[in-house]
Chain A
Amino acid sequence: MSVIAERKKKARLHVIAQVILSIWCVFVINAWIFHTSIRSDWTEDGVLTITESDRQLVEGLPGKIEVVLPLNMSPGIENQLKTRILVKAARWLEELSHVDPNKLSRPVMIEVNRDGEKWERERIRRVPVLEESDVDKIHFFFDDRRISVAPEELASFRFPTVLEPEGNAEILLDKSREGIEAALRRLVTEDWSKIYISQGSGEPLLEENRQSSMAALRDDLEARGAIVEPLRLAQTDVIPEDADLLLIVAGGVGGFEPLGAAVVRSIDRYLESGGGVAILLPATGISGLEDLMARAGISVSPGLIAEEIPLEQGFVRPAFVAVGRDVNPDHPATASFGLQIMDARFSPARALQVSGDAEALLYTGPGAWIERDGQMARRDPAESPGPRIVAAASDVGSGRLVVAASWTPVLTEFWRGDSRRFLLSCFGWAAGDSLPLGAGREPVSRKVELSPQFRNSFFWTAIFVLPSCAFIGGLLVAAVRRRKA
């Protein structure tokens, strides 16, 4: 009997030791993994993937940047959409902070309506102090400096208007990732680049806020910390000395007046002295810069690029569109895109050819051809399909030249998608930015059209069909069970 009691006593002690040991093991495993994070992004468009340029950006920050996001959470569809985009941006900031928490702190989110005390504390603690009007913005603090980013800088919205009261409120373009990147650069960079955009020769207007203007382009460049100024090349042949980039949009709704010889000479001198020039070509006619481009190794073929564009239900339609698919992964302007397959649309687009030191930046897919008559996009047997160059770059002296095959992507109406990202990256390179912007992927919108028909069918599937199937399954099992019994 005493032997059994002794064994029981030993067993109890063993169990206690085992329990303590197992808890200790679990703690040690978790303590180890706590410091060893292995994360993977399973989203199809890699929207939360930290790229090498993101990593460089965070690691290159000169000190700790703190982020505060006070949210008002007011009702109404406009506020809801803005809140959604701010929260999305905060989510991306949180992901970025994983790179180096000592350089970029995780964002402090405060719901002002629910947690007034916290907001008051945070408001006073910050230098410069946050005001009551600073809610619904992301604030970045660094060395007594502050940059605030409003939702409008992180996305393009469409809201119902007086003319369209029944229109849907929606996020047209989500650029939260780039907006954050640009804000971080603006905060730590003292030297803002200056970009001049050609005006007065038929180009779309820079100031006017219309679909056919370049207002969206201007806003994007300014959000990236650039000072954007118009430059009337027809009236002056002097390129300002402080220009980091001269953007020549050689197109317009009413046609483009080719640049004169004096202007071309000053652009040439500007390039030789280390300036950056980006030329967006006209669909027809000339820009006046063809000789300059040819000397840099970039020439323009006659005709327009055409491709067969897929439509719904498997149909295709030939059109004067060049869809840029493959970027040059070795060029600094496009290296950050890596081997991504792009969908950068240029319409109508000229075909470029490169020679000498010039390099192609963007190619179409193998199905593109050059339509020489320019009247109708229909491929003749003589017009062989193949990849066409839609953008090219070259170093001229100590300057940088970028040529894109079409001017239309800079119109506010078309300023989106991969063509926008691609052009921003090219402009950044030409302006001499060490890390071109615009490489971040725009999230692909995955939305269901909430038509009455869809609502109805989804309602019945969710509430009735599935539970009924389970109910019938249960009845069948019960019947089988009864029969067996």
Chain B
Amino acid sequence: MNRTIGLLRRELLSTFVSPVSWIILVLFLLVMGANMYLSVLAVQGDLRQLVVSSYGGLVFWFMFLVIPPLVTMRSLAEEQRQGALEVLMVTGISDGSVIIAKWAAASIFFLTLWICLLPLWGALSFVSQVEVGILWTTNLGVLFIGSAFIANGILASALTAHPLASAGLAFTFNVALFMMHFFANLFRPGDIELLWIEHVSAIHHMVDELARGILDLRVLIFWGSLTVLSLFLATRVLEKRRWS
């Protein structure tokens, strides 16, 4: 446990001193800030609609699909390429610890990006009543869905030794998950298939549930279980190096 925490600390330090992270943060705030400003105008100041619009629009999903692969692409792939992973392995740290530390560091950075947007909501709270409950559920959704996307990124990073290939693979995983929602058009309300598609649809979870203040245990369990599965698979992939 102590080794995992030590490794996590090292990962966090390297993430937050990396210029790339700060560039991502600046660009993220610029794009999401502009998106929020335009959304305020588009929804004519209706704060409930603003949450749905800011956390369910095109710009939001673009960021959500692009940032996790960028954050995770170097985490294992780069170390594999440079041979640093072998050095890490001989120190006696387990594969699971490595995976968890890297995933936790990337998730914390990803969550930090979204937390940095909260001052804008704070600014809005000076002129109107911002619903804290809805912001909680929305950011909980960002945490859970984002963690699953990052876990996919870690899995992709474990599968290849090339950062760009890893980013591409993670992006493909996440887009595939994201695109599941569009199969909903093939079914009618009441069809069990449609309910299953909604069970795995990030858009449905974010736009129809969390951004409207509805917290459904199914959403948390689906994304939580997906995160655990991806991390477990990543551990097995890493372990493969020992016996191949």
State A38–B220 Cα separation when bound (angstroms): 11
B136 touching A474 by the CB < 8 A rule? no
Contacts of B22 in A (CB 8 A): 470-471, 473-474, 477-478
**Contact of A302 with B by CB under 8 A:** no
B37 touching A107 by the CB < 8 A rule? no
Considering only residues 15-40 of chain B, those with a C-beta below 8 Å from chain A are 16-17, 19, 22-23, 25-26, 29-30, 33-34, 36-37, 40
B212 touching A37 by the CB < 8 A rule? no
**Contact of B116 with A by CB under 8 A:** yes
Contacts of B46 in A (CB 8 A): 445-447
B214 touching A474 by the CB < 8 A rule? no
Contacts of A95 in B (CB 8 A): 214
- Of B116, B124, B137, B243, the contact of A466 (CB 8 Å cutoff): B116
In angstroms, how far is the closest chain B Cβ from the Cβ of A34? Answer: 6
**Contact of A30 with B by CB under 8 A:** yes
B196 touching A34 by the CB < 8 A rule? yes
State A8–B242 Cα separation when bound (angstroms): 9
Contacts of A462 in B (CB 8 A): 33-34, 36-37, 120
- Binding site of A, secondary structure by majority: helix, strand, loop or mixed? helix
B120 touching A461 by the CB < 8 A rule? yes
State A11–B236 Cα separation when bound (angstroms): 11
Contacts of B23 in A (CB 8 A): 474
State A30–B227 Cα separation when bound (angstroms): 13
**Stretch from B64-72, B125-133, B172-180 contacting the other chain:** B125-133
- Of A23, A34, A48, A447, the contact of B213 (CB 8 Å cutoff): A48
A471 touching B26 by the CB < 8 A rule? yes
Considering only residues 249-265 of chain A, those with a C-beta below 8 Å from chain B are none
Give the A interface residue count (CB, 8 A): 61
Contacts of B6 in A (CB 8 A): none
**Contact of A33 with B by CB under 8 A:** yes
State A8–B16 Cα separation when bound (angstroms): 40
Give the B interface residue count (CB, 8 A): 64
* A42-B134, A42-B137, A42-B215 known; A29+B29 contact, CB < 8 A: no
- Of B19, B136, B189, B199, the contact of A30 (CB 8 Å cutoff): B199
Contact string against B for A residues 68-98, beta-carbon threshold 8 Å, 1 for contact and 0 otherwise = 0000000000000000100000010011010
The 28 sampled A-B contact pairs (Cβ below 8 Å) are A8-B243, A15-B240, A22-B229, A26-B226, A26-B229, A33-B221, A33-B222, A34-B196, A38-B218, A40-B214, A42-B137, A42-B213, A43-B134, A48-B214, A446-B46, A446-B48, A447-B128, A448-B40, A449-B45, A458-B123, A458-B124, A461-B120, A462-B37, A463-B33, A470-B26, A473-B22, A478-B19, A481-B17
The 8 closest A-B pairs by CB, nearest first: A474-B22, A42-B133, A462-B33, A448-B45, A106-B189, A43-B213, A38-B217, A446-B47
Interface residues of A (CB under 8 A from B): 7-8, 11-12, 15, 18-19, 22-23, 26, 29-30, 33-34, 36-44, 47-48, 84, 91, 94-95, 97, 101, 105-108, 170, 443-450, 454-455, 457-459, 461-463, 466-467, 470-471, 473-474, 477-478, 481
